Amino acid sequence: MRTLAGKHILVTRAKSQARPLSALIETHGGVAVETPLLSFQLHDSKEHDRLLAKLHEFSWIFVTSANGVKFFFELLSFYNADLPQSLKWAVVGTRTEDALNKYGVKADFVPEKFNARSLSRSFFQKYDEPGRLLFVRGNRSRDEFIQAMKQEQVFFQTMTVYDTIPVEHSYEIIQEKLRLQEIDGLTFTSPSTIDAFMDAIQNTNAKALHLPCFCIGPTTGARAEERGFSQVIEPSNFSIKDMMDKIIDYFSEEGKR
């Protein structure tokens, strides 16, 4: 059944990450409007060389996104640094875990709920003396986990491995499609994409806030509500497939409302 026939769904993920969701939308008869709001690039600094040279001093590496994994290993290769076999890995979400597996590394700890708050709470319940921790992050990553490490009074360092950059040329495309009412649903996978969308519409398209807003993860959903979206829909499991199920359910029921 082509449950999304005639429906135009905005896909705001970075170009390199958009295809899996777009393919699912198209499989169900919808039109995936790929309009990336963010791009990602390697963040390098003199500090990275020093940190990578002393990885053996850390017990755990924490990563909360697939981008964090990707750019960490790019830096590891660039500096020709060794990855100690003794290092353990804590990650958030199946996508991050899958990204780590592609480099031949297995996650040692994955929380049941896919967010940084759950990671910190469940990790420190299990490991009260975890040793030295390295938190791999992006320049716009939330500080929840940093606050948790400070509260636990553990030794940690952070390593910013990528920068998140707004794709401003997408803004006019979104404004035009909203003006022509050519978007039926919105998809977001991070709080940063929510903020970028709000920058794109510039408070001129209030109707956009009443479109169904499909979000992955509680932090993304919470940010959408904070920014004024009236129909925020989240899957119980934070994956593209589960978000797609919510999209199908919503539009399947649309004619019954």
Rg (CA), the chain: 20
Instruction: Please check whether residues 50 and 148 belong to one and the same domain.
Output: yes
Of 164, 184, 202, the position where a domain reaches its end is 164
Q: Model's pTM, two decimal places?
A: 0.83
């939308």: which residue's tokens? 25
117-130 pLDDT, tens per residue? 666 778 888 888 89
Which of the residue ranges 27-41, 53-67, 137-151, 159-173 would you say has the lowest mean pLDDT?
137-151
Of 140, 164, 188, the position where a domain reaches its end is 164
State how beta strands 156-166 and 38-42 pair: antiparallel
Res 116 pLDDT > 70: no
- The separation between CA 148 and the C-alpha centre of its own chain, rounded to angstroms, equals 20
- Give me the helix-helix angle, 191-201 and 218-226, nearest 10°: 30
Looking at residue 99, its pLDDT comes to 94
Res 115 pLDDT > 70: no
Res 54 pLDDT > 60: yes
Instruction: Using pLDDT thresholds of 50, 70 and 90, give the confidence band for residue 112.
Output: confident
207-236 pLDDT, tens per residue? 899 999 999 878 899 999 999 999 999 998
Instruction: Using pLDDT thresholds of 50, 70 and 90, give the confidence band for residue 113.
Output: low
Res 247 pLDDT > 90: yes
Q: Is residue 13 part of a domain?
A: yes
Question: What is the domain-level CATH number for residue 160?
Answer: 3.40.50.10090
Of 131, 164, 197, the position where a domain reaches its end is 164
> Which amino acid is located at 143 in the chain?
D
Instruction: Please check whether residues 106 and 211 belong to one and the same domain.
Output: no
